[in-house]
A and B are shown apart, each in its own frame.
Chain A
Amino acid sequence: EDKVVQSPLSLVVHEGDTVTLNCSYEVTNFRSLLWYKQEKKAPTFLFMLTSSGIEKKSGRLSSILDKKELFSILNITATQTGDSAVYLCAVGGSSNTGKLIFGQGTTLQVKP
């Protein structure tokens, strides 16, 4: 059965800290790994990774995929209170359905 596991489940840091969120997966015919940020409502898309070892970067957020070890990390540097959210990792695999399997999420709280 396809599975996505995120760690830690929750994290409390102070503004300015750097955080690393982890995502490991087991999926048939891996196609892509995606990161989403969920505040109060809809998950919003952050990154999609398909190739191993290539870092995707957007401002203070960056992510990298290791297809050999079946995991990805999401780094957030110089955290701000606005980064407080649930971060979701999702994996797409098998055929061309496009469906994503989501992990449980990491709840990040950034204190002033």
Chain B
Amino acid sequence: DSGVTQTPKHLITATGQRVTLRCSPRSGDLSVYWYQQSLDQGLQFLIQYYNGEERAKGNILERFSAQQFPDLHSELNLSSLELGDSALYFCASSQTPGSPLHFGNGTRLTVT
């Protein structure tokens, strides 16, 4: 168990809908990262927060947004969902930028 908690484990929703994925980092970790993993793309970096502030952005779609709250948990919001957004979404945390990332078990999103 990495200590990173993601909810929900599974999510099934329809095209056009909006969902929120939640992540609680390991105790003491200030950085939170979001990754998308699909069969043909591997693990793709979406966005990183450090102590409440956005630190780095990957190829995150404009329909997606995230934030990190004062208690350091993070949420990833996905809106106007399309079939192609179906994937496994991982959250990871690290103590400091540059230290190893520790991953949660992911949220499997299925868009029908």
Contacts and interface: CB of A to CB of B under 8 A. Distances in A.
B98 A32 contact: yes
Given A44-B2, A103-B42, A98 B48 contact: yes
A98 B97 contact: yes
Interface residues of B, number: 27
Interface in A73-112: 88, 90, 92, 95-105
B15 interface: no
A41 B106 CA distance: 7
B56 interface: yes
Given A97-B55, A98-B33, A98-B97, A41 B102 contact: no
A42 B33 CA distance: 14
A103 B78 CA distance: 25
Interface residues of A, number: 24
Interface string A21-63: 0000000000110101000011111001000000000000000
Contacts of A99: 33, 45, 48, 56, 58
B102 A45 contact: yes
B97 to A, nearest CB: 3
Given A99-B56, A101-B45, A45 B100 contact: yes
Contacts of A31: 98
SS class, residues of chain A in contact with chain B? strand
A99 B31 CA distance: 10
A105 B45 contact: no
4 closest A-B pairs (Cβ-Cβ)? A98-B97, A97-B56, A42-B103, A102-B43
Interface of B: 2, 4, 31, 33, 35, 42-45, 48, 50, 55-56, 58, 90, 94, 96-106
